[in-house]
Amino acid sequence: MNSLRDNEALRELLDRLHAASEAQEAAIERYYADGAARPTGYEPDGSDGRRFWQDKYVALDRDKAELTYALARATGARQVVEAGTSFGVSTLYLAAAVKDNGGGRVITCDIEPDKVAVARRHFAEAGLSDVIETRVGDIRLTLAGGFDEPVDLLLLDIWAPIAADVIALVGPSLRVGGMVVADNTTVRRELYAGLFAHLDDPADGFTVTTLPYHGGLCLAVRTSSPATRDH
Ligand SMILES: C[S@@+](CC[C@H](N)C(=O)[O-])C[C@H]1O[C@@H](n2cnc3c(N)ncnc32)[C@H](O)[C@@H]1O
């Protein structure tokens, strides 16, 4: 079973959502050209930055999303965590993989309740709601409780500085052979310093590479158990 090929409702939905995301790219380029800073994840409610991003998909590019589906299939992923739901584009790929692997769950997190409400409608439209758990709120709180089961794959598609907090929360539960996929890591690399401090620390047991997709796609595979820490 390959839901990306065999689920017609999903195929049509993804075509529509990728097109909608791409149609917003010019507005995002203008936003930066006008001097706006990249989002940090700390944009206060009601600020211009927060308002600008509230209706933006910023969806994972299709080629990266298809790779993520393939990686989740290759690892037989049953428990996946996603940082950054937005309107649910990448979540649909992850959920398709988990379903095609025989079932499990994708825990997907976003701070914007209106975006998550729309994403939930997309999950229902594709028939994938049963494998998706949405968590609404600041991810540093919604993932703070840890995990009952090992995590097979973590997709980091969230404002860059938050990624370091997420890897600190999820990393300890990521199984050996599991992986982290992080988007856009060669754009403003300095914003990802906290993430790479974790991934590149030999004690964390990752083998890290950056794949040459647009903006760079970091793939970190946990190849050995993390060292036990005293802190
Ligand atoms: C790049 S978008 C995610 C795109 C999505 N993965 C897709 O492919 O459609 C990043 C998302 O992170 C969310 N976000 C930013 N800061 C957050 C935080 N502190 N906690 C939870 N979500 C946050 C934003 O609201 C935004 O929707």
CA distance readout (Å), 38 to 27, 34, 159, 169, 188: 14, 12, 8, 23, 9
CATH code reported for the domain at 3-12+56-222: 3.40.50.150
| CA 86 / ligand 1 centre spacing (Å) | 5
58 lines ligand 1 (CB under 6 A): yes
User: In ligand 1, which atom is closest to the CA atom of 138?
Assistant: 20
Which of 159, 165, 169, 187 maximizes ligand 1 atoms within 8 Å of its Cβ, making it the mutation to test the pocket?
159
Ligand 1 neighbour 112 (Cβ under 6 A):
yes
Q: What is the DSSP string of 27-93?
A: HHHHHHHTTPPPP-S-PPTT-HHHHHHTT---PPPHHHHHHHHHHHHHTT-SEEEEE--TTSHHHHH
Instruction: Write out pLDDT tens, residues 169-214.
Output: 999 999 999 999 999 999 888 999 999 999 999 999 999 999 999 9
Cα(59) to centroid of ligand 1, in Å? 9
Kind and range of the H or E run holding 196: helix 193-199
Q: Which mutation among 40, 115, 158, 213 tests ligand 1's pocket best, with the greatest number of atoms within 8 A of CB? A: 158
Smallest CA-to-CA distance from 108 within 126, 86, 124 is with: 86
Query: Is the distance from the beta carbon of residue 89 to the nearest atom of ligand 1 less than 6 Å?
Result: yes
Specify the 3-state DSSP secondary structure of 227.
coil
Nearest CA to ligand 1 atom 15: 41
Residue 179 backbone dihedrals phi, psi, to 5 degrees:
-150, 160
Whole-number percent of the chain with pLDDT over 90? 91
Which pLDDT tens digit goes with each residue over 62-93?
A: 999 999 999 999 999 999 999 999 999 999 99
Other beta carbons within 10 angstroms of residue 83's beta carbon come to 26
**Token output for 155:** 């997709």
Residue type at 131?
V
Reduced to 3 states (helix: H, G, I; strand: E, B; else coil), residue 124 is helix
Quote the pTM value.
0.97
pLDDT of residue 5: 97
Q: Where are the domains of the chain?
A: 3-12+56-222
Q: For residue 51, list its beta bridge partners.
A: none
Site to substitute for ligand 1 among 110, 122, 134, most atoms within 8 A of C-beta? 110
pLDDT in tens, 31-49: 999 999 889 888 889 999 9
pLDDT band at residue 230 under the 50/70/90 scheme? low
